[in-house]
């Protein structure tokens, strides 16, 4: 039983994910959101990216090895500026 508990904790630690929401002003068309999503998705460890044009928000689900700075840098490669609105553990 003890081994199962330790294994469960390790699996949760290895697969722990965060979700962050970024405000990305300037996105004005579907091509803009596609460019931002593609740039963020190219980061190793990013699991899912979604962008909402009407709110100018991008949500990113990623594992623990990804840094917020990496996501912000990826957004900058598309000529937009991202601002972190919130970050939390995914699933909590």
Total domains in the fold of the chain: 1
Residue 11: inside a domain, yes or no?
no
Structural domain of residue 47, as residue ranges?
17-89
- Which band of pLDDT confidence, cut at 50, 70 and 90, is reported for residue 4? very low
Q: Pick the residue with more confidence: 92 or 11?
A: 92
Residue 12: inside a domain, yes or no?
no
Residue 1: inside a domain, yes or no?
no
Here the CATH number for the domain that contains residue 58 is 3.30.70.100
State the chain's maximal CA–CA distance in angstroms.
Answer: 54
Q: 18-27: per-residue pLDDT in tens?
A: 999 999 999 9
Residue 43 to residue 74: CA distance in whole angstroms: 8
């Amino acid at each position: 039983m003890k081994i199962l508990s330790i294994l469960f904790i390790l699996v949760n630690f290895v697969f722990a994910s965060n979700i962050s929401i970024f405000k990305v002003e300037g996105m004005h068309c579907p091509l803009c959101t596609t460019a931002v999503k593609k740039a963020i998705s190219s980061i190793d460890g990013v699991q899912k990216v979604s962008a909402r044009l009407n709110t100018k928000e991008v949500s990113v689900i990623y594992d623990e090895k990804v840094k917020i700075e990496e996501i912000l840098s990826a957004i900058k490669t598309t000529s937009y500026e991202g601002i972190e609105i919130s970050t939390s553990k995914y699933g909590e």
